[in-house]
Structure 1
Amino acid sequence: MRAYEIGAQNGLYDLCLVNRPAPLPKAGEVRIRVIAACLNHRDLLILQGKYGPKKPHDIIPLSDGVGVVDMVGEGVDDAIKGKRIIAPHFVNWTSGPYNPAIFAQDLGVSRHGWLAEYIIIPATAVIILPDNINDDSAACLAAAGTTVWHALSAFGEVKPDNEVKPNDNVKSDELVLTLGTGGVSILALQIAKAMGARVAITSSSDEKLAKCTSLGADMVINYRDNPHWDEILLEQNGGMGASMILDTAGMMSLERTLNAAAPNGKIAMIGALAGQLDHAPNLFAIIGKNLTIKGITSGSRDMLAELVHHVSKHNITPIIDKKFAFDDALAAYEYLAAGDHMGKLMIKIS
């Protein structure tokens, strides 16, 4: 089969297209003929050697994808053959709380990922897709989508209108804030709106913010034109902050994120796209507002299954900025590195 390997991990140009034997499933595994895969920011870091220790050079990258089961290993029901599936990228995290051991079976990192014609996945990890979720939408969900669902549902307790309970910490009529317009942030906007939440979003581009408004964003703020974007949010929301914040920017904007939070609010730390501070941040607001901050490391198979149900029920179509042919995978990485995309980037494999 044709596949890409991450190589020496000294930069994007170490990505290498190779021919290698098609894998065969062992007991309890299935082989997937890959249809499409999507990129995430960590895929850049892996090729740059900045995602923990360097990995074996022959690892196949990418954690998000969709495909069709074409072969099963011993002990797996043949009935799954021909089914379209996705899977969490932590294939051994089926349910329950986070455990660091999940990193031992991480697609595209410690286990071969989706950027190949075939991928092997444990049968216990796969999720069969409903007919109304097409291949393009499905390929966006496993990493970015599960991260959003973990943040909004499991941590933030944002509930669809018909599931809101009187003692829920965050109710769907309160404000959700997501920073930026990358894959995670745009999915957060779409998923939260389908839950009935009001959503605020930031970007440095008025054009992207206009698209966010068309997707249902209730409040849009250009942080380049308004460096004190947190104060703008408070002003536009009647002096109240956001009850739930998905922070993809990290430490560089943490003080403003804290200021933008409502009392008793929750902040999901998802990334660090804005870089690092050169000073210790003022963290008093965490105490002063009784805030809860949680790091979000993607999510389990159970969380992904809940997300698939939500996407199917509400006919959510993730935004794909651009699609690339398999032979143009490097161009997809370069486009992601440029940082001008909105939503997800996809590589079509078959």
Structure 2
Amino acid sequence: MRAFNLTDHSLDSLKRVDMPVPSPEPHEVLIRLRAASLNYLDLMVAWGRLGSRSTSFIPGTDGAGEIIEIGSCVDGWTVGDRVVPGLMVDWAAGPLTSAAAKRMRGVTIPGSLADYAVVPATSLVPIPDQLTFAEAATLPIAATTAWNAIVTGRVRPGSTVVLLGTGGVSLFALQFAKAAGARVIITSSSDEKLARARALGADLTINYQSTPAWDEIVLSSTNGVGADLIVETIGASTFPRSLNAAAIAGTIFVVGFIGGMELSIPILPINLKTLTIVGNNTGSTANLADAARTMATAAIKPVVDRVFGFEDAIEGYRFLERAAHFGKVVIDLDA
């Protein structure tokens, strides 16, 4: 089978290779992968900042395909089923445990930049009928994370949700929040991206380059109340403004760290506002299934910015690295 291997801690070490097709164990299935999607996590792995490996390794955290072989102990799935596996293949449901966090596709076990992959049957979710393989490949990290943010923030009709940037998590959260009846405020440094966000349903858009004090705009637009949920996808550089923009009893859902990992913040606003600050590590297979069912019910389609062919996967990584995307970056394994 075709595959890409990472052989060192650098994007330059990503090489196209040929490998044997793996065989499923009794509780696993063999998937013919049709598409993969890229996340910032994939860049972290390629840069050597996450995960460890002593040998070459198939990267690619997110993927989608169809079952072509089933292990002898697998029930409930048939050959030909269109499926997407979760990131943490042993996290079926409930709170994350240290044991469930060990095996992560494309991080600590082989990922999606290959023609075939074996995964535990318990990590699978059926692909909603309205989604293509390329669209479904965006669900495991971005859609699951966004869904968990909406649930954790108790978003309901009339809630105010603030989203930072227009990456995959933010745009999924925008669509989930609008389906829940919320008012959505989103930021970007690009007026063109903000216009596209308004077309997706954003109620208020803020260019944080021309208006750095976006938190003050959030407060003024809510009569001083603030946001019920802020999906913090940036990190240290924006966190103080997220604290200021949050409403009393609001939630700051911490997803990203591209704006810095080291954080120094005042404690008093957290206490006075009784804020909930929640860290996130994607989600379980059950969370992924909930996100997929919601997308099917609400007719939500993932926003895919650019699709690259399999042989151009490295170019896809470089495009993601430039952070110019709107939504998701996908690798089409059939192209």
Please say if 1:51 is aligned against 2:35: no
1:112-261 aligned within 5 A: 112-153=110-151, 155-158=152-155, 171-261=156-246
For the aligned residue pairs, the C-alpha RMSD in angstroms reads 1.4
Contact 2:4 2:15 in 1 (8 A): yes
Contact 2:5 2:14 in 1 (8 A): yes
Read off the aligned partner of 2:136 and give its amino acid letter.
Answer: A
Query: Structure 2-normalised TM-score?
Result: 0.96
Please say if 1:38 is aligned against 2:34: no
Q: How many residues align?
A: 334
Q: Please give the per-residue CA displacement for 1:34-77, whole angstroms capped at 9, x wherever unaligned.
A: 0100000011111111125x324322111111100001111124
Contact 2:4 2:113 in 1 (8 A): yes
Please say if 1:299 is aligned against 2:283: yes
* Cα distance between partner residues in 2 of 1:56 and 1:118: 22
* Cα distance between partner residues in 1 of 2:145 and 2:200: 20
Please say if 1:12 is aligned against 2:27: no
Q: Give the match for residue 62 of structure 2.
A: 64
How far has the Cα of 1:274 moved from its partner?
1.2
How far has the Cα of 1:286 moved from its partner?
0.7
Q: Give the match for residue 167 of structure 1.
A: none
In structure 1, list runs of 5 or more residues that go unmatched: 159-170
Contact 1:179 1:203 in 2 (8 A): yes
Q: Give the match for residue 345 of structure 1.
A: 329
* Cα distance between partner residues in 2 of 1:283 and 1:225: 29
SS in 2 for 1:85: strand
How far has the Cα of 1:172 moved from its partner?
2.5
Percent identity over paired residues: 41
Read off the aligned partner of 1:268 and give its amino acid letter.
Answer: F
SS in 2 for 1:231: helix
* Cα distance between partner residues in 2 of 1:78 and 1:173: 40
* Cα distance between partner residues in 1 of 2:267 and 2:195: 33
Q: Give the match for residue 165 of structure 1.
A: none
Q: Please give the per-residue CA displacement for 1:254-275, whole angstroms capped at 9, x wherever unaligned.
A: 1100001000001110011112
Please say if 1:285 is aligned against 2:269: yes
How far has the Cα of 1:27 moved from its partner?
0.7
How far has the Cα of 1:128 moved from its partner?
1.8
SS in 2 for 1:92: coil
- Alignment equivalent of 1:89, drawn from 87, 90, 97: 87
Q: Give the match for residue 28 of structure 1.
A: 27
In structure 2, list runs of 5 or more residues that go unmatched: none
Indicate the larger mover: 128-137 or 305-314: 128-137
